[in-house]
């Protein structure tokens, strides 16, 4: 699950507003496809909305509906129940799901790097992950990256408390440390006149992809549909990083809680941090995987005993649909 700290008036009301939004015009000749996101509509989903509003999915012969997520959504599990055709997640979660027999396949990357981080107040004396020894960090319960930090840095007295999906505690406690996306939470803190610093988890060596995936059964039955969806989505992401205007307008329409300044902040963070493009500023790597990164991540999960049996990590992803994009 992706961590965010957006605060909504009420989940039921928000979902009611989102229902029926972000659906391409239905035409009988188009193939219906659904994508389950990991949170409410926001800039971190921008490439998919871009492909929708610019007609890339329609050009590919697809009638795509983007389904909003929320704090307790689990796109990967929804795939298993037939609630969606594609879902957003991260490569570590996909590997764990496969080890548990769920048979999920990542078909493309939404982000080359994960923007998850630990956020601290600017005046906090901690400046490295090693400095978190003895500290308490608010995180999503069971977060794998937290287990990795404990193992890597040999923490003895560092504790985890449940994330609250808000920055309220952070704003009132100068010692507070919490899990965030660098594309999101700092905006809300800065808006309140406070300054932050962040420790990017990817810099520790724990660097999953953000991915979109489907079940192997769906892939085997609908390879042509998967290829079309992947190609249109990658095109949407490449273009979104260059010009977010159309997609952000659609996101704002679908999610009234998402304002222009927030989306501009998130888009700039995605672009400046190279999260979507990776190290190649041309955008050529958008959507693509490197097999070695999957192998390395699998070995970390195995060493942590998060995955408790040997599997072939190649079963969790495919390069087939992105290699020629």
- Collapsing DSSP to helix, strand or coil, 58 comes out as helix
The mean per-residue pLDDT over the stretch 191-208 comes to: 97
Q: What is the pLDDT of residue 165?
A: 86
Domain with CATH 3.40.190.10 in the chain: 11-114+208-316, 116-204
Q: pLDDT per residue over 267-287, tens digit each? A: 999 999 999 999 999 999 999
Q: Which of 7-11, 74-78, 252-256 is modeled with the greatest confidence?
A: 252-256
Block residue for tokens 């672009």:
271
Q: pLDDT per residue over 15-38, tens digit each? A: 444 555 766 555 569 999 999 999
The mean per-residue pLDDT over the stretch 143-157 comes to: 96
The structure's pTM equals 0.92
Decide if domain 11-114+208-316 falls under CATH 3.30.1060.10. Answer: no
* Nearest of 323, 144, 167 to residue 230 by alpha carbon: 323
Higher-pLDDT residue of 70 and 122 is: 122
Q: What is the pLDDT of residue 4?
A: 45
Q: Is 198 exposed, middle or buried (0-12, 13-18, 19+ CB in 10 A)?
A: middle
Decide if domain 116-204 falls under CATH 3.40.190.10. Answer: yes
Q: Which of 6-20, 93-107, 212-226 is the least confident region?
A: 6-20
Give the pLDDT band (50/70/90) at residue 110.
very high
């Amino acid at each position: 699950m992706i961590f965010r700290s957006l605060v909504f008036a009420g989940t039921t009301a928000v979902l009611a507003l989102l229902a029926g939004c972000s659906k391409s015009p239905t035409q009988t000749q188009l193939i219906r496809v659904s994508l389950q996101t990991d949170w409410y509509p926001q800039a971190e989903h921008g490439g998919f909305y871009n492909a929708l509003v610019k007609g890339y999915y329609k050009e590919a012969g697809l009638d795509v509906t983007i389904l909003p997520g929320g704090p307790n959504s689990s796109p990967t599990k929804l795939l298993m129940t037939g609630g969606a055709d594609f879902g957003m997640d991260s490569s570590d979660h996909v590997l764990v799901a496969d080890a548990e027999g769920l048979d999920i396949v990542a078909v493309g990357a939404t982000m080359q790097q994960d923007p998850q981080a630990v956020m601290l107040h600017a005046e906090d004396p901690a400046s490295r992950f090693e400095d978190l020894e003895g500290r308490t960090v608010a995180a999503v319960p069971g977060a794998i990256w937290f287990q990795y930090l404990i193992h890597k840095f040999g923490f003895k007295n560092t504790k985890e408390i449940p994330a609250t999906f808000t920055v309220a505690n952070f704003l009132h406690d100068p010692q507070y440390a919490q899990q965030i996306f660098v594309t999101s939470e700092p905006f809300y803190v800065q808006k309140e006149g406070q300054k932050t610093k962040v420790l990017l988890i990817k810099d520790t060596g724990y660097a999953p992809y953000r991915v979109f995936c489907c079940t192997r059964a769906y892939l085997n039955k609908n390879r042509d549909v998967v290829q079309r969806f992947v190609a249109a989505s990658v095109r949407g992401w490449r273009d979104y990083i260059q010009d977010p205007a159309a997609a952000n307008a659609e996101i704002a329409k679908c999610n009234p809680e998402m304002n222009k300044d927030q989306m501009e902040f998130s888009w700039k963070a995605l672009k400046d941090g190279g999260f979507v493009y990776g190290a190649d500023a041309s955008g050529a790597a958008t959507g693509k995987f490197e097999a070695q990164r999957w192998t390395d991540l699998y070995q970390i999960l195995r060493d942590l005993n998060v995955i408790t049996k040997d599997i072939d990590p190649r079963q969790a992803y495919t390069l087939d649909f992105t290699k020629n994009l």
